[in-house]
Amino acid sequence: MNKPTISLPPFGCFFLFFSLFFFFSLFSSVVLALTDAEASFIPQRQLLTLPENGELPDDIEYEVDLKVTFANHRLKRAYIALQAWKKAVYSDPFNTTGNWHGPHVCGYTGVFCASALDDPNVAVVAGVDLNGADIAGHLPAELGLMTDVAMFHLNSNRFCGIIPKSLEKLRLMHEFDVSNNRFVGPFPSVVLSWPAVKYIDVRYNDFEGQVPPELFKKDLDAIFLNNNRFTSTIPDSIGESSASVVTFAHNKFNGCIPKTIGNMKNLNEIIFKDNNLGGCFPSEIGKLANVNVFDASMNSFTGVLPPSFVGLTGVEEFDISGNKLTGFVPENICKLPKLVNLTYAFNYFNGQGDLCIPGSRTEIALDDTRNCLPDRPKQRSARECAIVISRPVDC
């Protein structure tokens, strides 16, 4: 019994989806003349068929049959990636990508070539630097084709969306700076997959959720996390970090500072400013003799200053203002040899060493306002102080 074929709506949808899938599979596997019109499909194909996390399937490979030839296969792959990226740009006010056409990708503004690490006779795209270009757009999964990129600097643009997982193919990544953009989603854990990465800067974006403990186990020089929406605790693994600079500021980190912080062997600068951190300062902070900048301001730290803080012999900038600290500010902290600026304002201290009084020494800036210090100007009211001081914290 031969019934006439009826295209029912569900079948029609399925068929449409299937044809698109087939079309794009074909697109990615056969010889292809990549005209401008065809290249314009690339970002669409990402939106239509690539997984949401921006993964680049292992079998993805394009053949570009252009009239022009490329110096080598790696530059051709970079070309495909850069053309996909150009199509994913919605606004380019300084025309930075204006010359991103043709096979000479090494001449593109913001694209830097160098000899391949594994073959000095082959030129490859080793870096991208679009700092300050104010470009709006997203990062297409095709960027995973630029496997020789070691330096990726995008700071101060308007890139949005997620960091595609396909970037895990950039095994040589050394410096990754996507700061001051509009990226969203969880911490871009693709950064954990790069074996040689030294510098990770994701500050001033809208990343949210947990910061993975593995981040601090990598051999990094600098970790910039500030001005996002991270909500996790600070992992105990921070003690394993080789970083000299770590910034947590202006997020919603909660919990305590882990005791393991004392094990950070290269630390020069650590910024906890403006989070929801609390508890007492662990005495292990005093082991950080090479720290120049210690900023724990605008949190909810309680208790007294650990006597071990006298071990911060390298500290220049020391800011513990805006917490719920109590007790005495000891003289020996105010006499730390490198001290330039010590701010302990907006706490509940009720005593201070003589050299801790602002104006006691001209070379050091001190701020003791809004505490509970007898005979000092601009202090909290007796009533305000009584509420906190009458309930001492047992650290």
Ligand X SMILES: *[C@@H]1O[C@H](CO)[C@@H](O)[C@H](O)[C@H]1NC(C)=O
**String of DSSP letters for 77-135:** HHHHHHHHHHHTEEE-TT-TTTT--SS-GGGSTTEEEEEETTEEEEEEEEEEE-TT---
- Burial code of 181-215, b = ≥16 C-beta within 10 A, e = fewer? bebebebbbbbeebeebbbbbbbbbebbeebbeeb
Q: How would you class 249 by CB atoms within 10 Å of its CB: exposed for 0-12, middle for 13-18, buried for 19 or more?
A: buried
| CB nearer ligand X, residue 109 or residue 341 | 109
CB 66 within 8 A of CB 79: no
- Per CB under 6 A, the list member of 12, 98, 307, 392 interacting with ligand X is 98
- How near is the Cβ of 222 to ligand X at its closest, in Å? 34
Rg (CA), the chain: 27
Q: How many residues bind ligand X (CB under 6 A)?
A: 3
| CB nearer ligand X, residue 102 or residue 209 | 102
| CB nearer ligand X, residue 96 or residue 297 | 96
Q: Does 95 bind ligand X (CB under 6 A)?
A: yes
Segment contacting ligand X by CB under 6 A, of 92-100, 154-162, 203-211, 372-380: 92-100
Segment contacting ligand X by CB under 6 A, of 22-30, 94-102, 246-254, 330-338: 94-102
Provide the sign of the torsion angle of the four alpha carbons 116, 120, 122, 123, taken in this order: positive
**What does the alpha-carbon distance between residue 314 and residue 289 come to, in Å, rounded to a whole number?**
6
- How near is the Cβ of 91 to ligand X at its closest, in Å? 12
- How near is the Cβ of 161 to ligand X at its closest, in Å? 24
Structure tokens at 272: 């906890």
CB 140 within 8 A of CB 46: yes
| CB nearer ligand X, residue 97 or residue 205 | 97
**What does the alpha-carbon distance between residue 307 and residue 329 come to, in Å, rounded to a whole number?**
10
Give the nearest residue (CB) to ligand X.
98
Of 210, 158, 214, which is closest to residue 187 (Cα–Cα)? 210
- How near is the Cβ of 36 to ligand X at its closest, in Å? 14
Q: Does 307 bind ligand X (CB under 6 A)?
A: no
Q: What are phi and psi of 74, to 5 degrees?
A: -70, -35
Q: 14: how many CB neighbours lie within 10 A of its CB?
A: 11
Q: Does 93 bind ligand X (CB under 6 A)?
A: no
- How near is the Cβ of 112 to ligand X at its closest, in Å? 18
- How near is the Cβ of 94 to ligand X at its closest, in Å? 9
| CB nearer ligand X, residue 108 or residue 318 | 108
Q: Does 99 bind ligand X (CB under 6 A)?
A: yes
Segment contacting ligand X by CB under 6 A, of 25-33, 91-99, 182-190, 284-292: 91-99
Segment contacting ligand X by CB under 6 A, of 41-49, 95-103, 364-372, 382-390: 95-103
Query: Which residues sit at the interface with ligand X, rule CB under 6 A?
Result: 95, 98-99
